[in-house]
Chains A and B, each alone.
Chain A
Amino acid sequence: MWSLSNIAANIDQWLNANMSPTWALIVEMVIAGVAVIGLFAALGLVLVIMERKVSAWIQIRLGPNRVGPKGMLQSLADTLKLLVKEGMTPGGADKLLFNVAPFVAMIVAMLLLAPIAFAKDFQLWDLNIGVLYISAVSSISVISILMAGWASNNKYSLLGAMRSGAQIVSYELSAGLAVLAIVVLTGSLRISDIIQAQENGWWLFKGHIPVIIAFIIFIIAVTAETNRAPFDLAEAESELTAGFHTEYSGMKFALFFLAEYVNVFIVCAIGATLFLGGWMPFHIGNWHAFNGVMDWIPSSVWFFGKTFFLIFVIMWFRWTFPRLRIDQLLNLEWKYLLPISMFNLLLVTLIAIMGWHF
C-alpha cells in the first residue's frame, strides 16, 4: 500500500486523469527532478553525519553530539555555515571554469541517480544499458576534477588533478571488468533484469568464489574511483593540503563535498544491485516459507540497508588504512587488480556458459 512504487503509480494515475499526457509528463519530470535534488541534499546530510559518527567511534571519540538530538543536526548546521560563507575565487584563476567545475561534479552525480532502482518497480529510467550508462557517465566526473585543478591556478590543485586523472582512468577498467562479471552471468545490461535474475539468491552467493573476487575488486576499484581513502591521493591533505579543491570555499566547496558523498552512495548502490540483489529480499532457492517471511520487509528497506552497509565498509576502510603512494596505486591496478579481474572474468564466463551457478 505505502510502498514507493504504489505512491508513484498513484501520482501517475492522478496526473493522467486530470491533465493532458504532455503536461502530465512534464509535471512528472519536475517531480522527479525535485525528488532527485531532495535526495541529493538528504544523502549529503545523512552521509556526512554517518561518516563523522563512524570515524568518531573508530577513533574512540564521541563525535558530534551538540546540535540537535545526539548531534544529528550537525551536518545541517555545517551546511548553513557553508551557505553563508564567502565563495572566493583566487586572482589568477580561470574564473569561468573555476566556477563551473563544482556544478559539473554535482550534475554528473545527479545524472547517475537516474537508473538506480530504489525499490521494487521504483526507478526513474530503466534504460536497457543501465550498467553501461553508469560507468559511462561516472567517467565524466574526472573532468570536473581536472577542471577544478587546472582552473585554480594552484600547483597543489594541479598535482591533485593529475593524480586523480591517472587514478580514475585506470581504476575504471577493473571496476568495469568486475561489473562485466555480473553482466555475463545475467546476460543483460538492464538493471531490472539483473535484479530479477537474483530472485532465488544473490549473485554473491550464487556465483561461487569468482563472484566474491569480483565483488572485492569492485569495492576496491570504486573506492579508488570516488577518491576515498586509502586512495584519496587527489586530496591527500598531508601531501597536497587539499588537492584539487584547495582553493574552493563556501558553497562551491560544499558542492564538491556533496558530489563525493553522492558518488559514494551511487557506487555502493550499484554494488548492492549487482552483487547483493538491489531491492531483492534475501531469498534462498526454493525455501518458500523463508522467502515469504523475507518478503514482508519492504523492498526499499532492503535496498537502503545493503547500500548503507557497503557505504559503512568504505568508511571503515577510510578510517583504518594509510594512503598509498601514486606509483603503488597504479601498480595495484595494473599489476594486481586488472590481471586478476581479467582472469576472473574468464572463469565467470566459463561458469555462465556451463551453467554452474545455482
Chain B
Amino acid sequence: MFEEVGTTTEGDLIINMGPQHPATHGVLHLVVTLNGETIKNVEPHLGYIHRSIEKMCESLTYRQFIYVTSRMDYLSAHINNHACAMCVEKGLQLEVPPRAQVIRVLMDELTRLASHELWWGAMAMDLGAFTPFFHAFREREVINDIMEETCGARLTMNYMVPGGVMHDLHPNFQQRVKDFLQLYKRKIHEYDELVTGNIIFQNRMKGVGIISPEDVISYGCTGPVARGSGVSSDVRKLYPYEIYDKLEFDEVLEDGCDSFARYMVRIREMQQSVRIIEQLIDNIPDGEFQAKTKAVLKLPKGEFYSKAETARGELGVYIVSEGGTTPYRIKFRSPGFSNLSALNHLVKGGKIGDLIAAMGTLDLVIPDIDR
C-alpha cells in the first residue's frame, strides 16, 4: 500500500485530503500526491478514530463485549454482533433455536439493505448529486423504524446475544416488513432512473478504479469489492452459517472490475436481500428465541474463529480463551481495512474525481477500519 518515500518529484502537488473532508465519510486522512489533476499516489493515514476496541473487549465478559462491536461498522451493527455471538456459541457449543436463527438472518438482511441504501445515497452525493441521498433515506428510515420497534434502537441495536436474540420479534414485525417490501418494490426503479442509467454517472464510473481479480485476492479484498471483479467471496455461500444454506439466493458477481461493477454488485445485492427476506418473512418457525444459557459464560480454553458477511465484506472474529469469563485476546478481521488497502491501486493514474468515485464504491466506514 505504501510507496517508497521519495517518489515525489519537484512540481508534484501534495494534498492532505481529510481528516475533515466531505468525501472521506469520517476521519480518514489521505495524503494525495498529484501531478496537476492526475493522481500519482494515495497514502491513507489511519488512527484518528482508533478506540482500541479489541483491547476493550479483553476486559469485558462474553456477554458484554458484543455490544462494543456495534460501534465498529455501525452500518452493519447487527451483522457484527451476529459474528461475535456465533463465535461465542462456537466456544460454548451452543445450539441456537431455529426461530432465533431465522430472526437473525432476517435482521442481517434488513441491515444489509439499510447499509446499501445509505451507501447508494452517499455514493451519489460523492459524485455531486444530492437528491438520491434523500430518496435513499426515505426507504432506510422505514427499516430503521422496524429495527426500533423490535430491537429498541435504530443504529446500535445490541440485539444478538449468545444463544439467540434479546427479545422476541415485535407483533407488528411481519406486517411492517411486508409493507416495506411493497414500498421498496414500488421505488426501486427510481434508483435506476436517477442514478444508474444516468449518462454522466456511467461515464464517471465505467472504466475507472480498475482492479484485477488477482489483485483483489492479493489485497485481501472481500465483499462487493471482490465480487465486482468476479471473485467469489460471499461467506453466506462459501461457508454458510445459520440457515443460509437452506435459502435460495444468488451470489452476485460482476466481471467489470471497475467502479461501475462494484456499484452494480451492491444494487443487485439489495434485490437478493429482498429475495431472502421474502422467503423467510412468512416462514418464521415458532419456538424459543433464545437458547438457555448460564448467567456467567465461560469459554473453554482454546481458539475460536467465526466469520459473517457484512455489508462491506467478510468480518472475522477470532477469540483466544484461557478458560475465564473474559477473552484472553480478540482479533477482528474487518472488511474495510483490506478494502481500503486497495485504494492506491485503484486510483493511481486517475483524476481527483476518480478517487472520490472509487472511494465511494469501496463503501468505507472509518470506525470499521480503525476500530
Contacts and interface: CB of A to CB of B under 8 A. Distances in A.
Q: Say if the two chains contact directly (CB < 8 Å).
A: yes
A323 interface: yes
A232 B128 CA distance: 9
B139 to A, nearest CB: 11
Interface in B200-226: 200-201, 203-204
Contact of A320 (B22, B37, B129, B352): B129
A263 B195 CA distance: 29
Contacts of B203: 324-325, 328
Nearest to B359: A238
Interface residues of A, number: 28
B353 A60 contact: no
B356 A320 contact: no
A61 B130 CA distance: 12
Contacts, number: 83
Contacts of B135: 59-60
B131 A238 contact: no
A323 B130 contact: no
A155 B12 CA distance: 11
A59 B130 contact: yes
Interface residues of B, number: 32
Q: Which of B134, B195, B354 has the most CB of A within 10 A?
A: B134
Contact of B356 (A55, A232, A239): A239
Interface string A223-262: 0000001101000111111000000000000000000000
A86 interface: no
Contact of B204 (A55, A60, A155, A325): A325
A322 B201 contact: yes
Contacts of B13: 155, 159
15 contacts: A59-B135, A60-B134, A60-B135, A155-B13, A229-B128, A236-B353, A238-B23, A319-B131, A320-B129, A321-B198, A322-B195, A323-B200, A324-B203, A326-B37, A328-B203
Given A60-B135, A155-B13, 20 more contacts: A55-B130, A55-B131, A59-B130, A59-B135, A60-B134, A60-B138, A159-B352, A230-B200, A238-B22, A238-B23, A238-B126, A239-B356, A322-B124, A322-B128, A322-B204, A323-B128, A323-B200, A323-B204, A325-B203, A328-B204
Interface of A: 55, 58-61, 155-156, 159, 163, 229-230, 232, 236-241, 319-328
